[in-house]
Structure 1
Amino acid sequence: MTAISVSNLSKRYGKTRALDNVSIDVQRGEMVALIGASGSGKSTLIRHIAGLEAGDGEAGRVVVLGQVSQMAGRLMRGRPAGRVAVIFQQFNLVGRLSVLTNVLIGHLGRVPRWRGTLGLFSRSEKEKAENALSRVGIPSVAAQRSSTLSGGQQQRAAIARTLVQEAEILIADEPISALDPSSARRVMDVLATINTQDNITVLVSLHQVEYARRYCKRTIAMREGRVAYDGPSTSLSNSFLAELYGETLVRKSDRGVVPSQG
């Protein structure tokens, strides 16, 4: 029941080794946190799992939902793109469109191209999008332009789109790093709920370590392109985190344990 299997994955950009022989497995139904300092390889790993980039060399291999996504330094055809959803810090909503229309975009992989191009969705498809907005706690904003929403609301709308997409894996690349503490908790609550209720596998990259401890039973820590830790989130010690980030952890606040900026 493995959802994501990465083995011997490496990636170099010029002289910088972004990933160095990385191997991880994520089981179906897990909610796993991915942590590490900026430049540690978190986002690069996420992009490779999502099929947005190919690793280097012949040894690296990524298998998603039993299908080979990439190997031998190239992306493979037939990878399960529609079954994997990715949300980013930037939300990636179309600001001039209504929130409901942005959520309906999650249907595009399963409706005829001409209907998607013209924005012609059935009543049942619209009801599904409305239900998704209710599940993430923002049903009242369906008719608003997405550009009018707060950051937290936009991120929840992006999650609603993945529910419409019927993704089996949700990969979130720092989805709460730009949010205030209250909005961040709401987004993490939504991710935890769909993980539990829908058995959607969630891999979430976080800077706020306390959220990893609170919401994810397992944490994978990256350092200099390698896996520095893979185990229970409850076993993450402040001394290890200080070593991981190369800085002094200065406080515990509503945003969690965070590395100092000095």
Structure 2
Amino acid sequence: MIAVAVSNLSKSYGNTCALKDVSLTLARGEMVALIGASGSGKSTLIRHIAGLEAGDGGAGRIEIFGELTQSAGRFLRRGKRSRVAVIFQQFNLVGRLSVLMNVLIGHLGRTPRWRGTLGLFNRAEKAKAHKALERVGIPQVAAQRSSTLSGGQQQRAAIARTLVQEAEILIADEPISALDPSAARRVMDVLADINAKDDITILVSLHQVEYARRYCRRTIAMRDGAIVYDGPSSALSPDFLAELYGAASEELVLPDIPAGDQTAPLAESRKRRATLLPA
């Protein structure tokens, strides 16, 4: 089943063309990397898929699980947004609230507005939030203010919130760019785990190509608002990146992970979904 289908999507800001006739599909259960140098159009594409921005008029279309959500620069079926969750580089947690309350916010789309406004969540909702924190490996910080967490812990709390939201598509916009290598691996491990076990479709934007090679079988590469590569992540050698990006390829290489290491964590759990992904 196709989870996301983008067709002929274009977007301009004044004289700047941010997206140029972009088309792609994501199958249900895929975990796909989206790479590109700064200004390549990755974040703009993510905002459109998430329903946060509309494209230019014309032939541009976006479908989520077969239902049209955007066409010719107009939003349709805004209710489908709840099926798509976005994780940003900045974590987007409320620092003065507890970690648990930040995760409980994921319930807001399905609880009465008055209860959400007052922060009144029932026992089942709280149990679900605690379980989500266990899934991402930080159950011990539930009562802490989110501002006291490390960057990696905050990002995992943001992922827990998407689990409570019950999103079927998770889009992560540079989720590890501000993290040290150890914290980055933990966050990527969590994303890979929920992708494998929950069959959630994940599109993760990365500057660090070695993480794309390690965690994602497929990579989409963008340059100047257009898709210039869509295929196996294993093909992303330094020479190939230099071909795609020239001198800008230097910002896409992370020396932390050996270039020859293609062993993905959770390999066994991924065998189960291998047939869903493109060869």
TM over 0.5: yes
Deviation at 1:256, TM superposition (A): 7.2
Letter in structure 1 aligned against 2:46: I
1:165-214 Cα deviation digits (max 9, x unpaired): 00000000000000000000000000000000000000000000000000
Letter in structure 2 aligned against 1:128: K
> In 1, distance between residues paired with 2:28 and 2:19?
24
> In 1, distance between residues paired with 2:78 and 2:227?
28
1:122-163 Cα deviation digits (max 9, x unpaired): 111101100100110000000000000000000000000000
Contact 1:5 1:63 in 2 (8 A): yes
Give the structure 1 partner of residue 143 of structure 2.
143
CA RMSD of aligned residues (A): 1.4
Deviation at 1:243, TM superposition (A): 2.9
More strand by share: 1
When the two structures are superposed, what TM-score results if normalisation uses the length of structure 1?
0.95
Alignment of 1:101-116 (within 5 A): 101-116=101-116
Letter in structure 2 aligned against 1:189: D
> In 1, distance between residues paired with 2:204 and 2:5?
16
Aligned residues: 257
- Structure 1 residues 168, 256: CA separation in 2 closer, same or farther (over 3 Å shift)? farther
Deviation at 1:22, TM superposition (A): 0.4
Contact 2:209 2:254 in 1 (8 A): no
Alignment of 1:1-262 (within 5 A): 1-247=1-247, 249=250, 252-254=254-256
When the two structures are superposed, what TM-score results if normalisation uses the length of structure 2?
0.89
Contact 1:99 1:141 in 2 (8 A): yes
Contact 1:103 1:129 in 2 (8 A): yes
Q: Which runs of 4+ in 1 moved over 6 A?
A: none
Letter in structure 2 aligned against 1:13: Y
> In 2, distance between residues paired with 1:70 and 1:146?
35
> In 2, distance between residues paired with 1:75 and 1:256?
44
Structure 2 gap segments, 5+ residues each: 260-279
Structure 1 gap segments, 5+ residues each: 258-262
Give the structure 1 partner of residue 271 of structure 2.
none
> In 2, distance between residues paired with 1:20 and 1:148?
41
- Structure 1 residues 252, 179: CA separation in 2 closer, same or farther (over 3 Å shift)? closer
